[in-house]
Amino acid sequence: NSLSELQDLLLPILHPKSTSGLKVDLHHVHRNVRFRSWIRNLYLDLKFSRTDKMQKASSALLYENYPNLVSYQKLVSTFGLQQWNKNPQHREDELQRALEAALLKDCATVWDWTLEDTLECIGCCIVGMNEFNFYCEENKIYDFLTQDYITELGRYLYKRSRKISKDKGKREITILEVGAGEGKLGA
């Protein structure tokens, strides 16, 4: 029920340098999508679900209470995203590729792998995750609509439709939302 218990259970099985008789080949594990999905979800749940940030977010945001959207600043302060790099300069799978290369070359660095390194190597995509990512995944939020986003989008659409109206000589402009999903944006 804790991250340390999960690590104690899985590292002897998954770590590439394990001497346990239960050790598995990471290349086989990498191809098992169900296992990767299950272990990723379990790992993220144990790492983030009980943190203070998640408790605060669960009570403060209540995303399902739409249309009561939160401000961007509230989102940032709730999850502590002030230092979050929103524009990383590396490829998403760069660390996974580096870990796979180290494994293939049998580098000495493999000895120091944590459970997180091992899970990243098999494609679990967990490095760099935080409570915000976990909250969005748990609540199936793919576009986190904030008051600021809606205000700016409305401002852009208003200005753009006025320009099109003027340029085309039309009084009415139709705006079509394609791929509306649940329709929260158009509501």
Cβ-contact 76, 82 below 8 angstroms: yes
Identity of the amino acid at 180: A
Question: Residue 153 and residue 69: Cα distance in Å, rounded?
Answer: 14
Q: In degrees, to the nearest 5, what angle opens at C-alpha 107 toward C-alphas 95 and 33?
A: 45
At how many degrees (to 10) do helices 52-60 and 72-79 cross? 150
The pLDDT score that the predictor gives to residue 8 is 85
- Candidates 121, 125, 87; CA nearest to 102 is 121
Q: Examine the pLDDT at 127 and tell me if it is beyond 70.
A: yes
Residue count of the chain: 187
pLDDT tier at 47, thresholds 50, 70, 90: very high
Least trusted range by pLDDT, from 19-33, 125-139, 142-156? 19-33
Q: How many CA atoms lie within 13 A of 124 on its CB side?
A: 25
Contacts of residue 152, defined as CB under 8 A and 6 or more positions apart, other chains included, come to none
